[in-house]
Chain A
Amino acid sequence: MVGEELAVMDASGLRAIGAGLAVGLTGIASGIAEKDIGSAAIGAMAENEALFGKGLILTVIPETIVIFGLVVALLIK
């Protein structure tokens, strides 16, 4: 029984699922992290427009998470 079910699972399909999870979950993680930084950065910019550059940079810092996810996905493929 168990053997039969396993045989149905296609290896390349599992890889695709894994790659999808890697990008999707890290994307959510970056989103959560950036949301807080972004709203704080907008708040700071409302006070002082010169902070635009720093705000932008701080906001994209968690972007690394999803980049790593993307790299992992590429490696799985």
Chain B
Amino acid sequence: MLSPKQMSRVTIVGHKDILGQTVDALHGINAFHIEDYNDDKLGLKIGKPFENADDVSKKLIKIRSISSFLGIKKGESGKQNVESLFQELDTKLVELDDEVSKRTDRKSEIENKLKELDTLSKELLPFSTIPLNLDQYRGYENLAVLSGIVKGDIEPEVAHITQSYELFSDVKSGTIVLFVLKEHADKVSNVLSEFAFKELRVPEISGVPADLLKKTEQDIVNLQNDIVSLNAEIGSLKSKYSGFILASDELLSIETQKAEAPLRVATSEHTFMMDGWVPNEDYDRLARTVEDATGGRAFISRTNVTKEEEAIVPIEYENPKISKPFEEIMDLYARPRYSEIDPTSLIFITFPLFYGMILGDIGYALILLGLALGIKKLVRSDAIKPLMNILIYCQVSTLIFGVLYGEFLGFPLAGLESHGHYIPGLINGFETINLFPSPFAGEMITYPVHRTHLVMTMIVVTALIGLIHINIGYLLGFINERRKHGVTAAILEKGSWFVIQIGLLLFALGYVGYISKAIGIGVFLVGFVMLLKGEGIKGPIELPSLLSNSLSYTRIIAVGLSSIYIASTVNQIAFDMIMPESFGPMTIFAIVIFILGHALNTVLSIIAPGLHALRLQYVEFFTKFYEGGGKKYNPFGYIRKYTEE
């Protein structure tokens, strides 16, 4: 539970004839982490992919491009039998490809046509108010046609130049079509340029523009309808083939993986050698399966992990199911190394504990619990699920602390008599019970624990919790160090911290007057020298961290208080608004403020306690013992979702 899975290094050697069977068998077991061969000192070469690799990967690319065209998303789908899928794969793929490409061609054709019609309608629009057939715009020997847009009235100016002209114009859009003799064309166009003349292209078709425009617009509508029905066809193709596509994508991915496996294997002319790792618990199964598949012709050898190999062993967590989600938190930092303690199970306890201590509110716990359960049910993503599980654990802890603190959305549940005036609680008749006086600042420990009235005590308590947590860290560090460098190094590097702390404690006792101060100072100095020997000059430099790290845990109360104050401020604003009047517009406004304020604080309630609880693990706890940097265990195989053998 506290260490990664134990691994063995396994080498499989055999004749190339049985490479295919071996790869099949290993893929089926899904437990063999292949160590890629990339070293040619042995005089061996990297193997060549199997013959079907090309074919399979081509099909895979085709199926993936179809899948992305149809917009198929991974989701629930029935499992398909591998054998029958294999048999129908080729024909069905051709059929599907045909159906899809027919539609893609048609779709792009329509889209091109739409673009053309769109341009045409834009060109026609300015001429639509001029009742001339487009044929009449061209084909003259002696006439020049000037069509375009101008600003202002050009007629008087044109009349100055020549009397023989014909002008059609639309005042609103400024479109003109002017027919003049060619000999006057230059002069006229000079005049026109003074009116900011912009020439318009005349579409090369015949007909009256207004009618043409109407027809074009009708065509566009028709084509758009065509696209809609085409999309519906694509949609029905999608629902018809999505099971097949998902299954064959998986099947082909598996086949590609197998076909390309020789690229990771060392080969000579007639033999192959596979090198890799397997968890001890899976070794027997692996050996048996490979031997069965190859008729005992493969030679399998197994060695235990040596000290030098510890740096390259792939790491697989071994945790009970309940603490598995916290492996995500570990991966966010770094995987443990092979010989290191895997602290996942400890984080499973301390992370929700700190989170709950910080938030500690029944209301928020219930809201977030509902939210997490809802998201877990609705979103079927493998990445979201562990995060939601972590959130659920945290909310359970928050709920427990909420009952302990007696808080609901920032309201105290129990009434409290404080400094001579009475603060009513949310539950009538539920009064705070005094338990015993706290040794700090004359505060009274009560049930429920009112954090706002026990600030000093809580600061001391949280710092003490920090001290305990840090010391667990040193203890783990001691174990890790002993495994890596032996007992002496462990005592000097990590044990010295305990000696120093005992020294400080004895000195404190001496300060109060129970024993001589010299004892404390002596023990402290012994610890100091041990630390200096163990860690060098780095040790004494880190000495103040003992204080700053444990003070850092006071954030548990500090962040918690800030959350309470935000909540109670929202409550106060909302209730001050309702109180003086009976029901009215202010009441609605108050309710809006209440909901928005608490929604904001709910979001903050995930981020702030989450980040701070996480940070206490990563920065204060892990630095005492954890190194990390292990490689991920990635077995050769595939977890089938859409196919079955």
Contact = CB atoms under 8 A, between A and B. Distances in A.
Interface of A: 52-54, 56-57, 60-61, 63-64, 67-68, 70-71, 74-75, 77
Contacts, number: 46
In order of increasing CB-CB distance, the 5 nearest A-B pairs are A53-B332, A70-B558, A67-B555, A57-B618, A71-B554
A53 B333 contact: yes
Contacts of A63: 555, 611-612, 615
B562 interface: yes
Interface string B541-568: 0000000100110110011011000000
B143 interface: no
Given A67-B552, A75-B455, 17 more contacts: A56-B332, A57-B615, A57-B618, A57-B619, A60-B612, A61-B619, A63-B611, A63-B615, A64-B548, A64-B555, A68-B551, A68-B554, A70-B561, A71-B459, A71-B558, A75-B456, A75-B459
Interface in B606-629: 611-612, 614-615, 618-619
A67 B554 CA distance: 8
Contact of A52 (B332, B455, B561, B611): B332
Contacts of B558: 67, 70-71, 74
Contact of B615 (A54, A61, A70): A61
A71 B614 CA distance: 20
Contacts of A54: 333
A53 B615 CA distance: 11
Contacts of B552: 64, 67
Contacts of B332: 52-53, 56
Interface string B426-469: 00000000000000000000000000000110010000000000
Tell me the interface secondary structure of chain A in the complex: helix
Nearest to A53: B332
Contacts of A64: 548, 552, 555
A22 to B, nearest CB: 12
B544 to A, nearest CB: 13
Nearest to B554: A71
A26 B130 CA distance: 75
Contacts of B551: 68, 71
Chain B interface residue bracket vs A = 20 to 34
Contacts of B555: 63-64, 67
A70 B548 CA distance: 15
B615 A74 contact: no
A9 B558 CA distance: 29
A63 B613 CA distance: 12
Contacts of A68: 551, 554
- The winner among A60, A64, A75, A77 for most chain B CB atoms within 10 A is A64
A70 B562 contact: yes
8 contacts: A53-B332, A54-B333, A57-B615, A63-B611, A64-B548, A67-B558, A70-B558, A70-B561
A52 B333 CA distance: 9
A64 B333 CA distance: 19
B344 to A, nearest CB: 15
A72 B331 CA distance: 35
Contacts of B611: 56, 60, 63
Contacts of B619: 57, 61
A57 B455 CA distance: 27
B641 to A, nearest CB: 25
B358 to A, nearest CB: 11
Find the residue from B455, B554, B558 having the highest chain A CB count within 10 A: B558
A61 B331 CA distance: 19
A36 B543 CA distance: 27
Contacts of A71: 459, 551, 554, 558
Contact of B455 (A53, A56, A60, A74): A74
A63 B559 CA distance: 11
Interface in B305-353: 331-333
A52 B555 CA distance: 23
A60 to B, nearest CB: 5
Interface string B593-615: 00000000000000000011011
User: Which of A57, A61, A68 has the largest number of chain B CB atoms within 10 A?
Assistant: A57
Contacts of B455: 74-75, 77
B202 to A, nearest CB: 53
A77 B441 CA distance: 12
Nearest to A61: B619
A52 B611 CA distance: 13
B459 A74 contact: yes
A16 to B, nearest CB: 14
A61 B371 CA distance: 29
Contacts of A60: 611-612, 615
Determine which residue in A56, A61, A74 has the highest number of CB atoms from chain B within 10 A of its CB, and name it.
A74
